[in-house]
Amino acid sequence: MQRILALNTTGKIGQSVTVAGWVNSRRDHGGVIFIDLRDHTGIVQLTIHPEAEEAFKIAEKLRDEFVVKASGKVIERAPELVNKNIPTGTIEIVVDKLEILNTSKPLPFQVAYPDENINEDIRLKYRFLDLRREKMQKMLKSRHEMIKLIREYMDSRGFIEVTTPILTSSSPEGARDFLVPSRLHPGKFYALPQAPQQFKQLLMVGGVPKYYQIAPCFRDEDPRADRSPGEFYQLDLEMAFVQKPEEVFEVMEPLFVELTEKFAGKKVMQKPFPRIPFNEAMDKYGSDKPDLRFGMEMVDLTEDLRDTQFSVFGNAIKNGGAIKAICCQGGAKLTRSQIDELTEMVKKEGAGGLAYIVLDEGGMKSPILKFLSDDEVKAIVTKTKAETGDIIFFGADKKDLVNMVLGKLRDRLGDVFGLKDPNVVAWAWIVDFPMYEYNEREQKIDFMHNPFSMPEGGLEALETKDPLDIKAYQYDLIANGLELSSGAIRNNRPDIMYKAFEIAGYDKETVDKRFGGMIRAFEYGAPPHGGFAPGIDRMIMLFMNEPNIREVIAFPKNGSAEDVMMSAPSEVEEKQLKELHIKLDLPKSKNEQQKQK
C-alpha cells in the first residue's frame, strides 16, 4: 500500500497524499466531518466537505477504530485552528477519496483516551485493542530500542548470540518447573528452562569465549507486581576465563550506564557502582535490593540498650534478638493517623508494634520515653544522629525479622517523603552472598542462590568450614529497589561440584542423573567462567518508572497466571491425554470434600 505516515504529513503542504490507519475520533461540525486518523506515529486530522460526495457518505458511516484509507491535499490550518497538542496540529488533509478497509464492533473500552480505571482483565482480554493505546505503543517501541542497544553493545564487546534449547531436563533453579510430557518416551518429561544455565556453561566448555542471548525463561511461580508468572525474558550472558566478579563487572557495568543515560535519559547516582556485601545490605537497609537513592540506614542499638528496663526491648535482647532504629529526617510532621498506618503495615509483616520517638520544637515525645533512662535516650539520639524535626522508629525482635520489617518501613517512608527521584538510577552490586542457608521447613541445608557457583576458598572451604559461613562468588545487580539480575563465577571443577551438592543433600547418583551432561563436560577441560542475566522486563520497568510488570509485556498473564485473551491454561481433549499416557488426578472441590465428611 502506497501511503505516508501521519507524522510525515507536515512536510507535504500543498501536495496530495494517501494516509491509512484507525479512526481515533469522528466529529460532525456544521456539515463538515472531521476525522482524527491514527497510525503508529501519531494523529492527523482529515477534513471531509459535502462537495466530496462519495467520501462524505462514507465518512458519515465511520465509527471509532474503523480502519480507513484516505487521499487528499495537505493544507495549513488557520492560526486560530492550530492544535498545539499534536505534532501535526498545524496541518490537515482535505479528503477527496475515502475507503473503509475494515469495520469494528463497539469497543469494550476507549482506545483513543487514557483511562487508568479500566478493569485489568478486560484490558488483557482485549489486549490487541489495548496495544493500540499510546502508552502501550511507546512501551513496545522502547522495549525494541533497549534490546537493540543491548545487542549493539554485546556485539561491540565480542559476545556472540547463541540460542539454547527450550525442551530440556529439570534442574533445581529455585522454582517449580513447567513440565512437558513426552509422547515418544511415555512416563518421561521435558522441562521448560528456568534459565539457560547449564547450556551457557556448556558453551564455555565448547570454546565460546563470550555468549549472550535474549533468553526466554519459564518458572512456575506465584505472580507479583514485579514478577511475570510463567515466563519472562533476560539478557543471559557468560564469559570464559574470568575468576573474580570484578572481571564481569568491568565488562558489563558500562552497558547499564549507557542504558541509563543514553536510552532512559536518567542520571546514574554513582559511578563506578557501589559494591555492597550481602550482610552489610541486610544490616543497613533490611534488604538485599535496597533503594539507594536515599539514606535512612538502620542503626544497631542492641549494645546501647542491653541493660534497659523497657521490657519490650529487654526481652528481645534476652531472647537473642536485636534492637535497631531508623531516623527519618523531617518525620516529626507525620500525623497520628500516618503513624498508625505505618504501625499496621509493620504488624502485617510480623512485628508486634512500632515504637517511635518524635523530636520537635517542644522536645521529645513518645509513649516509650518513660521506660528509658536519660543515658539510653542520649545514646539513641547520638547513634541515630537525630535532630529537631526528625522521628526515630524502632524494631525489637529476632534480627532477621527486625531487618526485614525496618527495611519495608524504610522503603515506605521513602515513598511518603518523596525521596525516590524518578530521574535517578542508583545501581549497586550486592556481593559476598552466603553459599548456603538453613531451610527451617525441611530442617536441612539448601543452596541460597545458584547451585553452580564457585565457593570462595574452593574445595578447602567446603571441607573445613561450617556451611553457613561459606561465601560464594555470587552477586546481584540492583537498582532503585529492584533486583535486576543474579550472577556468579561458576563452579567449573567436578570434585568441588560434587562436594557442594553433597552438603545440600544431593548424592553423587542424583547429581549425575540431573546434571550428568554438564559434569561429563567439566571432566574435559572446563575453563573458569562467570556471568549473569539481568531481566529485560524489570529493566524496562526501571527505565519507564512503571511499577507493574504487566504494563511492559506485550501479552502478559494476569494476576492469577491466566492468559484471558487466549483462554490459557485450558483443558485438553481426552484423546491427547491418552496419547501421552496421562490420567488426571484433580483435587476435589469444596462441595465434594464436604459430601465425603
Q: Do both 90 and 10 map to the same domain?
A: yes
CA angle (496, 501, 503) in 5-degree steps: 100
Alpha-carbon separation of residue 67 from 26, 43, 59, 99 (angstroms):
13, 14, 12, 9
Do 139 and 551 touch, CB atoms closer than 8 A? yes
Alpha-carbon separation of residue 578 from 46, 366, 448, 568 (angstroms):
59, 69, 40, 21
Q: Do both 304 and 408 map to the same domain?
A: yes
Number of domains in the chain: 3
H or E stretch covering 58: helix 53-61
Per-residue H/E/C for 214-281: EEEEEEECCCECCECCEEEEEEEEEEECCCCHHHHHHHHHHHHHHHHHHHCCCEECCCCCCEEEHHHH
| pTM of the predicted structure, to 2 decimals | 0.89
Q: Do both 98 and 121 map to the same domain?
A: no
CA-to-CA distance for 253 and 472, rounded, in angstroms? Answer: 21
Please tell me the least confidently modeled range out of 166-170, 301-305, 566-570: 166-170
Q: Enter the C-alpha cell of residue 114.
A: 487514557
- The 10s digit of each residue's pLDDT in 428-444 is 999 999 999 999 888 89
Question: In the prediction, which pLDDT does 593 show?
Answer: 62
- The 10s digit of each residue's pLDDT in 206-218 is 999 999 999 999 9
Question: In the prediction, which pLDDT does 498 show?
Answer: 94
- The 10s digit of each residue's pLDDT in 220-259 is 988 777 788 889 999 999 999 999 999 999 999 999 999 9
**Above 90 in pLDDT, residue 513?**
no
**Above 90 in pLDDT, residue 494?**
yes
**Above 80 in pLDDT, residue 115?**
no
Average predicted confidence (pLDDT) for the chain? 94
CA-to-CA distance for 588 and 171, rounded, in angstroms? Answer: 30
Please provide the DSSP assignment of 385-408 as one string: T--TT-EEEEEEESHHHHHHHHHH
Question: In the prediction, which pLDDT does 588 show?
Answer: 80
H or E stretch covering 375: helix 374-384
Q: What percent of the chain stands above pLDDT 90?
A: 89
Domain contains 140: yes
Question: In the prediction, which pLDDT does 173 show?
Answer: 59
CATH code at position 50: 2.40.50.140
Question: In the prediction, which pLDDT does 12 show?
Answer: 95
C-alpha 434, offset from chain centre: 23
Q: Do both 133 and 163 map to the same domain?
A: yes
**Above 70 in pLDDT, residue 546?**
yes
Domain boundary among 419, 451, 482: 419
Q: Do both 134 and 97 map to the same domain?
A: no
Q: Do both 56 and 95 map to the same domain?
A: yes
Q: What is the DSSP letter of 202?
A: H
Range of the domain at 360: 294-419
CATH code at position 168: 3.30.930.10
Band (pLDDT 50/70/90 cuts) for residue 505 is very high
Q: What is the DSSP letter of 319?
A: T
Alpha-carbon separation of residue 55 from 2, 26, 50, 61, 172 (angstroms):
19, 14, 8, 10, 64
Q: Do both 307 and 365 map to the same domain?
A: yes
Domain boundary among 102, 129, 147: 102
Q: Do both 123 and 260 map to the same domain?
A: yes
Peptide bond into 534 cis (omega under 30): no
Q: Do both 305 and 253 map to the same domain?
A: no
3-state helix, strand and coil shares in percent for the chain, rounded to the nearest 5: 35, 25, 40
Of 430 and 118, more confident: 430
CATH code at position 301: 3.30.1360.30
Q: Do both 125 and 261 map to the same domain?
A: yes
Among all chains, which residue has been given the C-alpha cell 515513598?
415
Of 518 and 551, more confident: 551
Domain contains 481: no
